Amino acid sequence: MKQHYEAFPHNDANFVPLSPLSFITRTVDLFPQRTSLIYGDKHYSWAESYARMRQLASALDRAGLGIGDTVSVIAANTPEMFEAHFGVPMAGCVLNTINTRLESETIAYILENSDCRLLITDTAFAPNVGPALAALPDDVRARIRVVDIRDPAMGDLPPLGNEDYEAFIAGGDPAYDWQMPADEWQALALGYTSGTSGRPKGVVYHHRGAYLMSMGTATGWPLPQHPTYLYVVPMFHCNGWCHVWTMTMMAATTVLIREISAEAI
């Protein structure tokens, strides 16, 4: 019988690579007008969030980035950070979220060690990010394109790069035809340890692992359909425990706040 078992072909009916990117397409197909994100006075539907994610992916593609290229993000829990968890891997790139509380020397190390090609950074973190960029070797700094998140809630702060996030994604296609990874072991995200001995250590998440983590969270809690979730875990920390992807799977409404404090909550 062995030869008969080995003859069973893979096809879309019996096998697809696992990826949390599949969650967004299902949610948008079924619940396009449900509220995806609330941030201050901003409200987004799932259709609107998906269009912005595709714009980001398209803009990265047009910038020459693709499979295996690292896109770093230094940001608070804002819509841009949420969008990056889909838009970056939709382009085949690897999402590297960096702890906003790190000192400039460590940020510089991570940017160089991760082979960062593009940095999306909130201008509110310029006091540490600016010196980190300045400390990089010239060849490393030259390869990193810097895109600023300019949050009106933080006032008009000086930019670090030559373009802001909204202008960057405006150059992308909201109907971008992105592709699921052919291999579920393809790198999805790259995190770095904090509070460790010596230099931070890089930890790679693949698409399969993030998918299973998200599914396990939904069943383990267990979550109802369409929960409302106040995101109190920093999204830079272990990709926010993968809740970005879990909440998308559940067609949830995610409430974002910059400052995770009792007063803000």
| pLDDT given for residue 15 in this prediction | 85
Per-residue model confidence as pLDDT tens digits over 241-251:
999 999 999 99
Flag whether pLDDT at 5 surpasses 80.
no
pLDDT (average), residues 224-247: 96
Per-residue model confidence as pLDDT tens digits over 134-154:
999 999 999 999 999 999 888
Per-residue model confidence as pLDDT tens digits over 18-73:
999 999 999 999 999 999 999 999 999 999 999 999 999 999 999 999 999 999 99
Query: pTM for this structure?
Result: 0.95
- Catalogue all structural domains in the chain, each as residue range(s) with its CATH number: 52-225 (3.40.50.12780)
| pLDDT given for residue 161 in this prediction | 93
| pLDDT given for residue 205 in this prediction | 98
Per-residue model confidence as pLDDT tens digits over 163-202:
999 999 999 999 999 999 999 999 999 999 987 788 999 9
Contact between 161 and 129 under an 8 Å Cβ cutoff? The reply is no
Flag whether pLDDT at 2 surpasses 80.
no
Using the 8-state DSSP alphabet, how is residue 226 labeled? Answer: S
- Residue 181 is encoded by which pair of tokens? 């990874």
In the chain, the percentage of residues whose pLDDT exceeds 90 is 87
The phi, psi pair for 65, rounded to 5°, reads -100, 150
| Peptide bond connecting 222 to the previous residue in cis, omega within 30 degrees of 0 | yes
| pLDDT given for residue 6 in this prediction | 72
pLDDT (average), residues 67-96: 99
Comparing 75 with 1, the larger pLDDT belongs to 75
* 240 φψ region: left (φ > 0), alpha (ψ -120 to 50), beta (else): left
| pLDDT given for residue 263 in this prediction | 84
Tell me the pLDDT band of 1, cut-offs 50, 70 and 90: low
Q: Would you call 146 helix, strand, or coil by DSSP?
A: strand
